[in-house]
Amino acid sequence: MAVLSSNDRDSAAYPIQSLFVPFPFVCFTLALATDIAFWQSNNLMWQNSSAWLLFAGLVFGAIGVLAGLMDLVRPRTRPLRPAFLTALLYLIILALAFANSLVHAGDGWTAVVPYGLALSAVTFVLCLMAAAVSARKYARLAWRI
């Protein structure tokens, strides 16, 4: 029977945080979409959806931070660790999402429209920036530039 992997250590080099980091990005992007839907329709279902998406993004973000701390201890994940700027952007995104979650805890129109929508938009833009910075580092690793 042929073994495809030459070494079992190679599979251990995959960073655990990479499993959890995409979830907050998706949740925060969908929170922006549901905020826009609430702004256009004034249907409370969209406000509740935004609040739950923010909560889910924060939970998976916290798990991602804990997994990232575990990856700091593992020496084999050193080349795949995020850059300092990316890690800083992740923490800023989580702090903004937490503030956004507190804003969304209010009732009715004022819980979303002026500040919740703006915080969701800023969080989304920072998610795009973090993805771009992170992709640039992984592209350099793939091409060994």
- Tens-digit pLDDT profile for residues 56-82: 999 999 999 998 888 888 888 777 777
Q: Using a CB cutoff of 8 Å and minimum separation of 24, what contacts does 131-138 make? A: 131/25, 133/83, 133/85, 133/86, 133/89, 134/82, 134/83, 134/86, 137/82, 137/83, 137/86, 138/80
- Looking at residue 71, the DSSP 8-state letter turns out to be H
Tokens 């009732």, residue located: 107
Q: Convert the pLDDT of each residue in 77-105 to its tens digit.
A: 777 777 788 889 999 999 999 999 999 98
The reported pLDDT for the residue numbered 138 is: 65
Distance between CA atoms of residues 87 and 59, nearest Å = 17
> Do the domain assignments include residue 126?
yes
> Do the domain assignments include residue 6?
no
Q: How confident is the model at residue 109 (pLDDT cuts 50, 70, 90)?
A: confident
State which residues form the domain around 44.
23-143
> Do the domain assignments include residue 18?
no
Please give the average per-residue pLDDT across 128-132, as a whole number: 91
> Do the domain assignments include residue 69?
yes
Distance between CA atoms of residues 85 and 88, nearest Å = 5
> Do the domain assignments include residue 13?
no
Please give the average per-residue pLDDT across 12-22, as a whole number: 80
In sequence order, the 6+-apart residues with CB closer than 8 A to the CB of 84 are none
> Do the domain assignments include residue 9?
no
DSSP string computed for 76-103: GGGGGSPPHHHHHHHHHHHHHHHHHHHH
Domains identified in the chain, total number: 1
> Do the domain assignments include residue 2?
no
> Do the domain assignments include residue 12?
no
The reported pLDDT for the residue numbered 139 is: 65
